Amino acid sequence: MAYEFYHILEISSQASADEIKQAYFRLVRKYSPEKEPERFQQIRLAYNTLSNPKVRENYDIMQKHGDQIKDLIEQAEKKMQLEEWSNAISLLKQVLVLAPTIDVARNLLGLCYIHTENWDFAVKIYRALTKTNPDVALYWSNMGCAYKRQAEFFNDGEFSKIQLYYNARECYQQAVNLESFNSAPYLDIAETYLDEKNYLEALTWAEHAIGADGKADYNDFEAFFFICRVHFCSGESQKIEVIAKRIISLLPEKTDIRKYAASRFANMGIEIAKNATKSANFDKWRAAFQFLKAARDLEQTNVGFKELCTKIEKIVAAINQYEEISNDYLIIQGFQRLAAFCLTDYFDFYDSLQERKSCLNDILTEILASPTSTIIASLEKIKFSYPEIYGLNVELFERIEQVVCVP
């Protein structure tokens, strides 16, 4: 299909730069990276090509001239959409045999090499492209991507990883120098620092991305969302709420970008919650709640977001109450252990039914060895001061009360 990238973005080949940007935000809301990563990559590739005037011009020329070359590139693009990278590489090599100077084909070939983890080939291509086209920021960014993706395969602290990230940042910096208004290379640099757990630098570069075009607006959502990710990774999920408020203040009501932002926050919150169910890290539940609360506030008419947020909020409330009950001297230790049991049981952390039964019997033995008045006082305190803990297993608490009240 001719003009494949325009069809992917569902726009005309005469579309303006603003129309391209609007189409991109409309489609990425519909096909988010969390739900449909392959379609998102297609949209991203089309946008990256058409949003750069020089690269777009090169692309358009190839659509208008040379039927054989055009056909081969179209076939290669389709193979790339299907992630058939080897087949796409073969087709692009045929193009370069016929027309060695076609930059569009070389750029696509470089992307294929990145996806097939042929880092050296990818870097070689982009070195050549940046040498002949030193003023095209996209080629510098793609070379940075090749270095960055390779670095991600090494363990933290390895010299190769450090050197590759340095190379990546050098390339992204060239892109920044060429297009200081473009937030993408700033965020790419921030990503390298996040992977290195250098949270301060990651946040600094994300803020640079927000201010790249001289103003903070809805176009800066990705940078704001990245900052939320940094706060999550650094264990400061309470700061997510502040960033969410900044985002809400910038996004117009009832727009595609607002719905897209809400879906991104919701998807992130759901993934964190799923991960939290498999670990004893209660802070992950707090982080999940912050992301889902942001989604709820961004799209207040979404019933699904509200219901999910309410469920996670109750879990977080129970966790908070568990941490409080552990330090409450008015509640006997046996009930403090029972609170921990209820949380563990809720998340199904026990390896076997026998382990669960043994743990519960041990806790009940300790509780029932206490004076009746002390047991009743602890039960009353839990019921009225820690309702979320009590609600995790109402039946169990009521059975204990029935047993101790028997003459």
- pLDDT 10s digits, 12-39: 989 999 999 999 989 988 888 877 888 8
CA distance 356 to 338: 12
pLDDT at 2: 66
pLDDT tens readout for residues 288-314: 899 999 999 998 888 989 988 988 888
Q: What is the pLDDT of residue 265?
A: 92
166-213 residue pLDDT tens: 999 999 999 999 999 999 999 999 999 999 999 999 999 999 999 898
SS3 content of the chain, % helix, strand, coil (to 5): 75, 0, 25
- Burial profile 120-138: b = 16 or more Cβ within 10 angstroms, e = fewer: ebbbebbeebbeebeebbb
Q: CA-to-CA distance for 50 and 33, rounded, in angstroms? A: 20
Burial class of residue 205, CB neighbours in 10 A (0-12, 13-18, 19+): buried
Burial class (CB in 10 A: 0-12, 13-18, 19+), 384: exposed
Most confident residue range from 106-110, 243-247, 265-269: 106-110
Residue 407 has pLDDT above 70, yes or no: no
The pLDDT > 90 percentage for the chain reads 57
Token digits for 157?
């602290």
Token code pair at residue 370: 């206490």
Q: Residue 403, Cα to own-chain centre: how many angstroms?
A: 50
Element (H, E) at 45: helix 37-50
Confidence band, pLDDT 50/70/90 cuts, at residue 381: very high
Beta strands, E only, 181-327: none
Predicted local distance difference test score (pLDDT) of residue 210: 93
User: DSSP state, 51?
Assistant: T
Q: What's residue 34's pLDDT?
A: 77
**Range from 171-175, 220-224, 377-381 that averages highest in pLDDT:** 171-175
CB atoms within 10 A of CB 170: 14
Residue 278, pLDDT above cutoff 70: no
- What backbone torsions phi and psi does residue 105 show, to the nearest 5 degrees? -65, -40
CA atoms of 225 and 228, how far apart (whole Å): 5
Q: What interhelical angle do 256-276 and 17-30 show, nearest 10?
A: 30
For residue 219, the model assigns a pLDDT of 82
Q: Are 336 and 367 in contact (CB under 8 A)?
A: no
CA distance 154 to 147: 12
Q: Is the pLDDT of residue 279 over 70?
A: no
Two structure tokens written together for 178: 């060429």
- What's CA 149's distance to the chain center, in Å? 17
Q: Is the dihedral angle over the CA atoms 163, 164, 169, 175 positive or is it negative? A: positive
- pLDDT band with cut points at 50, 70 and 90 for residue 128: very high
65: pLDDT confidence band, cut at 50, 70 and 90?
Answer: low
Q: What is the pLDDT of residue 178?
A: 96
Find the Cα–Cα–Cα–Cα dihedral 45, 270, 190, 124, rounded to 10°.
Answer: -40
Which of 55-69, 137-151, 300-314, 346-360 has the least mean pLDDT?
A: 55-69
Report whether pLDDT(281) > 80: no
Is 1 a residue whose pLDDT tops 70? no
pLDDT at residue 280, as a whole number: 62
What one-character-per-residue DSSP string does 5-36 give?
Answer: HHHHHT--TT--HHHHHHHHHHHHHHS-TTT-
CA distance 392 to 341: 10
Output the pLDDT for position 327: 87
Say yes or no to pLDDT of 88 above 80: yes
User: Which two three-digit tokens encode residue 229?
Assistant: 């990710």
Q: Please state, for a pLDDT cut of 70, what percent of the chain lies above it.
A: 98
Give the per-residue pLDDT at 102: 86
Q: Is the Cα torsion angle 320, 325, 328, 333 positive or negative in sign? A: negative
Q: What is the pLDDT of residue 346?
A: 80
Distance CA 182, CA 153 (A): 27
CB 218 within 8 A of CB 257: yes
